[in-house]
Amino acid sequence: MNALGIDIGGSRIKAALVDLGLGKTATKRQRIDTPQPATPGAIVEACAEVASPFVDASPVGVGFPGVVRDGIVYTAQNLHPDWIGFHLEEALSDRMGRPVTVLNDADAAGVAEIRFGKGKAVSGSVILLTVGTGLGSALFVDGQLVPNTEFGRMFFGSDKEAEARLAEPAKQRDGLTEVEWARRFEEFLQHLEGVFYPEMIIVGGGGAKHFPQVQEQIQTSCALEHAEAKNKAGIIGAALWAHECRK
């Protein structure tokens, strides 16, 4: 059985059919640039466009880069202020003519890793961090999602939020090498460990593609893993979540 997953990012919007039994994409990903300005109306139209090759696919799961509760957007740090209070789930369902379920994009990536990836069958707490335009997070306890964590908003070691020190724009702004970035990242991971004491931390997202090259240089008390689904995790997890919500 297949479902459609859509991942809304600060740079691109991607969609693909997902094989729910295997937890893998079943088609090539469709991609378009995220509209600028990234207003609600523009994003809804872009999602409809990127989903158009999969017109019969249902249900549809969408990962959004912000806090989402009951289909309503509460934060949109890297998009547009008009998002606050916007009922994205309702707007997408109406526009696409089929049921759509929306969740935070990092939560979606975490669902993929917990169901089929590195976090599968891990008891206790597992944290997933996605590095990209922003710094997303997902928290699971015994395999159950604790939705809408925003660890990227945490302060550690400076007067800046974690996202402002570790996301892709920070790498470029500060001219960080991968090793220099890894030192900052290690400090943040150790901060998280001191608060949550997780069994495992999983690192994914498009900005973490070089993570395996520096992983051994990062010291943590818990298991530290690179996400298996990498930057497909958001699509896969969104589709899985949409299916599970409609069981």
- pLDDT in the model for residue 15: 98
41-89 tens-digit pLDDT: 999 999 999 999 999 899 999 999 999 999 999 999 878 999 999 999 9
pLDDT tens profile 104-156: 999 999 999 999 999 999 999 999 999 988 999 999 999 999 999 999 999 98
Q: Which long-range contacts does 186-193 make (Cβ < 8 Å, 24+ apart)?
A: 186/217, 186/218, 186/219, 186/220, 187/156, 187/157, 188/154, 188/156, 188/162, 189/218, 189/220, 189/224, 190/219, 190/220, 191/154, 191/156, 191/157, 192/127, 192/151, 192/154, 193/220, 193/221, 193/222
The whole-number pLDDT of residue 146 equals 98
Would you state the pLDDT for residue 140?
98
Taking phi over 0 as left and psi of -120 to 50 as alpha, with beta for the rest, 33 belongs to beta
Domain with CATH 3.30.420.40 in the chain: 2-107+233-245, 118-227
pLDDT at 131: 94
pTM of the model: 0.94
Return the SS3 of 127.
strand
Contact predicate 117/229, CB 8 Å: yes
Contacts with 141 (C-beta within 8 Å, 6 or more apart), sequence order = 124, 125
Q: Does residue 149 contact residue 110 with C-beta atoms inside 8 Å?
A: no
Alpha-helical (H) ranges within the chain are: 40-51, 88-96, 105-116, 162-166, 168-174, 178-196, 211-214, 233-245
Separation in Å, CA 169 to CA 93, 133, 151, 164:
33, 6, 17, 8
Higher pLDDT, 88 or 246: 88
pLDDT in tens, 31-40: 999 999 999 9
User: Looking at domain 2-107+233-245, does it have CATH number 1.10.3720.10?
Assistant: no
- What's the confidence (pLDDT) of residue 141? 97
pLDDT at residue 159, rounded to an integer: 86
Quote the mean pLDDT of the chain: 95
| pLDDT tens digit sequence for 212-232 | 999 999 999 999 999 998 789
User: Tens digit of pLDDT for each residue in 181-222?
Assistant: 999 999 999 999 999 999 999 999 888 888 999 999 999 999
CATH class of 118-227: alpha beta
Alpha-carbon distance of 146 to 123, in angstroms, equals 14
Residue 247 in this model has a pLDDT that exceeds 80 = no
What is the predicted pLDDT for the residue at 133? 86
- Region 12-21: mean pLDDT is 97
